[in-house]
Structure 1
Amino acid sequence: MKIASIILLFLFFSACKSPEARYPVSQNSGSYIDESVERNKEMIAEEEDYIKQVMGKNPDTEYLTSADGFWYYYNKKSTDSLNNRTPEFGDVVVFDYSISTIEGDPIYGEGEKATREYAIDKEKLFTGLRQGLKLMKEGETVTFLFPSHKAFGYYGDKNKIGSNVPITAKVTLHSIKKEEINNETNNEN
C-alpha cells in the first residue's frame, strides 16, 4: 500500500507541472521574405518600364500619371464647368469598362463586361479600377494602364487574365449618385 501511495503521489505532482514552451526545430532568418520582396520590386520595375515603352510608341497621346502608381489618358473629357465632381466614399457610380492587354489585344471586349453599379470603397473591385474611378467625372471615358499589382495581381481573375499581367482598362462613367445618409430625427409631440 505504501508503494502505491508513493506512486500516486509522484503522478499527482508530476501532473501538476506547468506546461513548457515548445521551441521550433529550425528557425528561418527571414531571407525568403527578403528575396520575395526583391523579386516583386524587380517585377514591378520591369512592368512599369514596359508600360512606359508602350506609351512611348504613342507620342500623340497625353498620358497622365496617377499618385496611385498607374497611367491614364482621356478618350472623352468633360468640358462642362458645372460638372467637376468626382466620386467620393460611398457614392454610387454607374460605369462600364473593357479590358485589354497593354498592347491593346482585347481580353474582355466592350459589352462583355455589363454596365455596373458600384458603391465607392464599399464593394469589391480590383485596386486600380477602384482608384481610377475616383479620378473621373460623370460622362468621361478614360483609358487606364495598370501594372499587374494594381490589376488582378498574382492570382489573375481565374478566367481570362493570368498571373501578374498588366492590363489596359477603358472605362466610361455614366453617373454619380451622392451617398444618401439616413438621418433619423425624433419627432416628439
Structure 2
Amino acid sequence: MKSILYLVFFLFLLQGCKSPEPRKPISRASESFTTKSLKMNKAIVKKEESYIQELIEKDSVNKYISSADGFWYYYHNQNKKDSLTPKFGDEVEFNYNLLTLQGDTIYSREELGERAYVIDKEEIFTGLRQGLKLMKEGETVTFLFPSHQAYGYYGDNDKIGTHVALKATVTLNEIKPETE
C-alpha cells in the first residue's frame, strides 16, 4: 500500500516539474491590416502634398519655403534684424488662426486668442510646434500643414475632422527665454 502511495506521489511530483508549454493563439494577427493601413496613410500623405504643391504653384505672389519637417510656409512680415528663435523651454506668446487649405476658417484669431506656450514642454500639434521654432519675434508667417503635421487621424474632437490639412497664419509676439 505504501509503495502505491509513493508511486502516486512520485507521478504527481514529475507532473508538477514539467515546464509550461506555450499555448497556440486562438486567432492570429494579420499583417494585412497593418499593410493596408500603411498603404492608405501613404496615399493620403501623397494626395495632400500634391494638393499643397498645386496651391503653391498657383500662388505667384508668395515665396514658399519647404521645411525639413514636412510643411511649407511663407513670410508676411520677416524680422531680419534679430537672430533669436525659440529654443527648448522658452516661453512664446503668439496669435494664430486655422483654416482649411481652401481658405475656410476653422478657428479665427479672436476665437483662439493670444496663446502662451513653453517650447517642447506643452502639448500643441506637431506642425505648429516646429513652425514656432523657425520664427523670430514680430514675424507673421503662413504655414501649410499636411494632416500628419496637424491633427492627423484623430482631429481635435471638435471642428477639425480626420485627415484635414491646415493653413495657419501665426504671429510671434514675444519670446521669453527660459530662466534657469
Asked whether the two chains share a fold, i.e. TM above 0.5, the reply is: yes
Task: For 2:77 and 2:109, locate their aligned partners in 1 and report how far apart those are by CA, in whole Å.
Answer: 16
- Could you report, residue by residue, the CA deviation over 1:73-101 in whole angstroms, capped at 9, with x for unpaired residues? 1122224x2x2211111111111211010
Task: For 1:113 and 1:9, locate their aligned partners in 2 and report how far apart those are by CA, in whole Å.
Answer: 76
Task: Return 5+ residue gaps in structure 1 as ranges.
Answer: 182-189
Decide which structure has greater helix share.
2
* Residue matched to 1:113: 112
Q: CA deviation at 1:154?
A: 0.4
Task: For 2:67 and 2:30, locate their aligned partners in 1 and report how far apart those are by CA, in whole Å.
Answer: 37
* Residue matched to 2:46: 45
* Residue matched to 2:86: 87
* Residue matched to 1:32: 33
Structure 1 runs (4+) deviating above 6 angstroms are none
- Could you report, residue by residue, the CA deviation over 1:46-85 in whole angstroms, capped at 9, with x for unpaired residues? 0011112222332112211111110111122224x2x221
- Could you report, residue by residue, the CA deviation over 1:135-155 in whole angstroms, capped at 9, with x for unpaired residues? 100011111100000000000
Matches within 5 A, 1:55-134: 55-79=56-80, 81=81, 83-134=82-133
Task: Return 5+ residue gaps in structure 2 as ranges.
Answer: none
Q: Which segment drifts farther, 59-68 or 127-136?
A: 59-68
Identity %: 51
**1:54 and 1:103 in contact (8 A); partners too:** no
TM-score by length of 1: 0.87
Q: CA deviation at 1:9?
A: 2.4
**1:138 and 1:176 in contact (8 A); partners too:** yes
Aligned-residue CA RMSD (Å): 1.7
Q: CA deviation at 1:39?
A: 1.8
Q: CA deviation at 1:31?
A: 3.7
* Residue matched to 2:173: 174
Q: CA deviation at 1:27?
A: 4.8
